[in-house]
Structure 1
Amino acid sequence: MSLSWGELPVGRVLRLAGVNADIDANMLELVLDPLPETGPVLVTYSVAEGDSVSELVESILGELETLAIGLFPGWLPGGERLSGPGGGGVAAARALAIRAASSSRHFGPFLADLADRAIRHRGPLAPGRPAPKGRSFPAEARAAGLARVIASTFDRESVALVIHVPEKPTSHGERVLVAGFEWLAHRSGMGIWLVGPELRNVDTHYLEIPAAVRRLADEMAPPSRRAAVGVPPVAGRPHPGSEVEQAMEAALTECDWAHGRTWNRTYRSRDPLFVMIRTDLMWAREKCVVEIDGPEHETFAQMERDRTRDRHLERDGFTVLRFTNQQVRGDLQGVLRHIHDFLRARRLGMSEGAG
């Protein structure tokens, strides 16, 4: 039986049948962008074959800790007001964490330690870079604590790891993978959803993917080499894994004209056939959308998808400004001037219209 994304179970290991080739990474991206309103937050992970269960579990938990630290302060209420480790920032972060844990399912000592490490390591995610060392907690506490932290960042109840399994694992490697995945699912409550070759003793489920999505994914270029961990955007913030979005936000913070902006906002189009659109950066009042395009937007299929999205936004009265990563990196001030000039003209027109 085929199941939709929101119906797949968490707290157990299962295999997503039919999602096993590189091109299917495009299908998952199309299905999950923007993130559906129901179901767990989805984190992708590319696993390597390990020698032991403990080694495998430690590798995954280490990557998830780096991810959680990069998502700070999204999971700590009030954390956005902390400027850094100096001036009592670490103590304040720990105090906020203990307060947050007292009224939630979080484990206070673990959350406080994670907040301590995050405030000492402010900045965007660095895939493959180990998280700063902190207090030693049992693997069980780390697994459950990280699942809660990541879920709360996206205002969800649970997390699912979509794990890309290596092709043709050895017999020993397969046993290690299955045992490690079972441990993670039971100890953390996360869904462990496997993509790739079939593994013994793992139930198979069929993910329902619309035919139109499959056709579009087939037209897109194969995805580039995946980072170890991938995470969707966090509503209201620049993407934690995008240095370009982080740099843009840092510059906009210094601009008094940039008020009213929202990052990674989900917008409901008036067109019932194209309901959900996630925009990179939006000024809703001025009806201005800014999109920052990486190299994946240069493919024909992605350009067609972008044009379709832009047309729906324009029919709803928005103007879409597109810039490439290269433009932002090479001429950030020029990009900001372009946005500023548009917003100034739009606000002037709104003011004259109101008069």
Structure 2
Amino acid sequence: MSDWEQGLLTATDAPAVVVHRTAGLSGQQATVAAVLDELEATAGQLFPAWLPGAEGITTSAGAAPVAVRRLAVAHAAATGQSGPFLADLAAAALTGSAAHTRRHPPEVRARGLARVIAASFGRPACALVLRPPDHLDEAATLALAQAAQWLVDHGRLTVWIDSDSPYGIESQPRATEPPSVARPRREPRAGTRRTRDVVGRPHPSSRAEVVLEAALARRTWAAGRAWNHTIRPGPLVNPVRVDLLWKRERCVVEIDGDDHRTPAKFTEDRHRDVMLQINGYAVLRFTNTQVLDDIDNVLVLLQQFLATRRRIRKGP
């Protein structure tokens, strides 16, 4: 267990962490189904911690299955969960049945299992660490990334992908946040992080990113860039989502909105910059205003920035 996973387990306001070693399946649906089956098995092992009133039911004999179903339906009604799902999950946990909730839509299973696991540890949310086999092929890498995005969008899970895939798995939104700021998926609010995956292109809601990409697309020196890319700066460093990256040159460019002026965000940005620099990345920051009002100067600085890094890389 890594230091940050241990930290999550000991912090009472952090999510409950589940580590799942995926099988490297080639389809999104198959990967999601395998993850949900694994989460259901975990929930079964945690029973009856997540079902108030079931503590004294230790056998599946007689009327016990009916009793836990009734408890589950009542608990679901009091907590806004799906009664039929929770009843099936409780009965399966009591009897030791596997994947007993497959008759329910995967969205219901994902949300329900996340809540059950979090409740078992008295935590506000559930975080899932996906650890696929080493050296996934391209199809399995894509399936895993899509499955993780699905779990974020539909299961309200926080997801991290721990992989050394040569195809560059892109960890999902919220999944890439460091554990100290991990949160369950909620409806978007003003000032929150982006909620849709836009790997490889500027975010459509950011006029500054769109304008800058349009300018860079016409310049040969800007080749090799990647927008909204997730990188792992070092083996002991959490993945980081950056606005713009030149991977070969190890150049990171961040486009900052007004929210980056707040003390908390300013401190977070400095921490990220130092961490990236320690691990060999150069970081350049522009504000939205600089990009929109003085694009020519931004382009000059970017060209110089890249040229310097390329000279350093080439050597004398």
Map 1:147-186 to 2 at 5 A. 147-186=114-153
Work out the CA distance in 2 between the residues paired with 1:92 and 1:84.
11
Deviation at 1:28, TM superposition (A): 4.1
Map 1:138-153 to 2 at 5 A. 138-153=105-120
- Corresponding position of 1:104: 79
Instruction: Report the aligned-residue RMSD.
Output: 2.2
Q: Is the 8 A contact 2:88 2:100 kept in 1?
A: no
The 3 A distance-change label for structure 1 pair 29 and 185 is closer
- Corresponding position of 1:55: 30
- Corresponding position of 1:218: none
Deviation at 1:105, TM superposition (A): 2.7
CA deviations on 1:125-173 (whole Å, 9 max, x unpaired) are xxxxx72535611111111111111111112221100122332211111
Work out the CA distance in 2 between the residues paired with 1:147 and 1:207.
17
Alignment partner of 2:15 out of 17, 25, 40: 40
Map 1:119-130 to 2 at 5 A. 119-121=94-96
Work out the CA distance in 2 between the residues paired with 1:30 and 1:54.
31
Q: Is the 8 A contact 1:113 1:135 kept in 2?
A: no
1:189 aligns with 2:156: yes
- The size of the alignment, in residue pairs, is 176
CA deviations on 1:164-184 (whole Å, 9 max, x unpaired) are 233221111111111111111
Alignment partner of 2:171 out of 198, 202, 206: 202
Deviation at 1:35, TM superposition (A): 2.1
Larger RCO, structures 1/2 (Cα 8 Å, 6+ apart): 1
Alignment partner of 2:69 out of 94, 105, 115: 94
- Corresponding position of 1:137: 104
- Corresponding position of 1:66: 41
The 3 A distance-change label for structure 1 pair 30 and 40 is closer
- Corresponding position of 1:13: none
The 3 A distance-change label for structure 1 pair 89 and 135 is farther
Work out the CA distance in 2 between the residues paired with 1:135 and 1:56.
14
- Paired residue type of 2:131: H
The 3 A distance-change label for structure 1 pair 57 and 172 is same
**Unaligned 5+ runs, structure 1:** 1-24, 122-129, 209-213, 215-355
Identical residues among aligned pairs (%): 33
Work out the CA distance in 1 between the residues paired with 2:47 and 2:4.
25
CA deviations on 1:255-284 (whole Å, 9 max, x unpaired) are xxxxxxxxxxxxxxxxxxxxxxxxxxxxxx
Work out the CA distance in 2 between the residues paired with 1:111 and 1:207.
28
Map 1:147-296 to 2 at 5 A. 147-197=114-164, 199-202=168-171, 205=177
Work out the CA distance in 2 between the residues paired with 1:162 and 1:44.
5
Work out the CA distance in 2 between the residues paired with 1:57 and 1:29.
22
SS of the counterpart of 1:80? coil
SS of the counterpart of 2:136? coil
- Paired residue type of 1:145: G
SS of the counterpart of 2:18? strand
The 3 A distance-change label for structure 1 pair 178 and 98 is same
Work out the CA distance in 2 between the residues paired with 1:201 and 1:28.
20
Q: Is the 8 A contact 2:85 2:109 kept in 1?
A: yes
Work out the CA distance in 2 between the residues paired with 1:135 and 1:49.
21
Q: Return the TM-score normalized by structure 2.
A: 0.51
- Corresponding position of 1:263: none
SS of the counterpart of 2:58? coil
- Paired residue type of 2:149: E
CA deviations on 1:42-76 (whole Å, 9 max, x unpaired) are 11111121121111111111111111111100000
Work out the CA distance in 2 between the residues paired with 1:165 and 1:92.
39
SS of the counterpart of 1:44? strand
Work out the CA distance in 1 between the residues paired with 2:41 and 2:32.
14
Deviation at 1:27, TM superposition (A): 2.9
The 3 A distance-change label for structure 1 pair 201 and 153 is same
Work out the CA distance in 2 between the residues paired with 1:119 and 1:82.
8
SS of the counterpart of 2:48? coil
Work out the CA distance in 2 between the residues paired with 1:161 and 1:200.
16
- Paired residue type of 1:47: T
Work out the CA distance in 2 between the residues paired with 1:206 and 1:36.
14
CA deviations on 1:203-223 (whole Å, 9 max, x unpaired) are 655668xxxxx8xxxxxxxxx
